Amino acid sequence: MSSLKMPSINQVTLSGRLVQDPDYRVLDNGSARLSARIAVNRPYRDRNDSWQEETSFFDIVLWQRSAEIFADRLSKGSPVFVTGRLRSHTWRDDRNQPHSRIEIQVRHLQILERNDGQEEGDLSEETERTAA
């Protein structure tokens, strides 16, 4: 039996709004990290042909220069367009209970609305790094 060669693709594209102010931190190793949560809405028709809306929430993380740049530019309610990759984390708490989280490691973020008459924000940083 021949082995199947599959491409290794891990890419996500979303647009939504931040549901809280982002959390900017400089870690002990000196890395800048910005984390936030976005809400993405999906309208659909239910069985009665009425419009409904489903909201999904996603954790996003920016590193290094991207984190520094967007720390002062993003706030709760900011509409954003992001592309990146999924990254999963697993750990055990103090009671040895397993936990897991999937977050989006952002490669590109664009702020979708104009701010005080300025052009839309569009910064692409390819400085993705793995968590410390």
CATH of residue 16's domain is: 2.40.50.140
| Residue 7 forms part of a structural domain | no
Residue 94 lies in a domain: yes
Report the C-alpha gap between 73 and 63 in whole angstroms.
15
Lowest mean pLDDT among 20-24, 104-108, 117-121: 117-121
Q: What integer is the mean pLDDT of 11-35? A: 95
Region 47-55: mean pLDDT is 93
> In this structure, is residue 6 part of a structural domain?
no
Q: What is the pTM of this model?
A: 0.76
Per-residue model confidence (pLDDT) at position 87: 95
Residue 51 placed within a domain: yes
Residue 115 lies in a domain: yes
65-109 confidence digits (pLDDT tens) = 999 999 999 999 999 999 999 999 899 999 999 999 999 999 999
User: Is residue 131 pLDDT above 50, yes or no?
Assistant: no
Residue 107: CB atoms within 10 A of its CB come to: 19
Instruction: Give whole-number Cα distances, 89 to 2, 11, 43, 100, 104, in Å.
Output: 33, 17, 30, 5, 11
Parent domain of 95: 12-124
First to last CA, the chain: 40
Domain for residue 130, yes or no? no
Whether 22 maps to a domain, the answer reads yes
Counting residues of the chain whose pLDDT is more than 90, the rounded percentage is 77
Please state, rounded to an integer, the average pLDDT across all residues of the chain. 86
CA dist list (Å): 5 to 1, 8, 33, 40, 52: 13, 9, 35, 33, 41
Residue 129 lies in a domain: no
Question: Looking at the 3D structure of the chain, how many domains does it have?
Answer: 1
- Average pLDDT (45-63) is 94
Please give the structure tokens belonging to residue 21.
Answer: 């102010």
In which element (H, E) is residue 64 found? helix 64-71
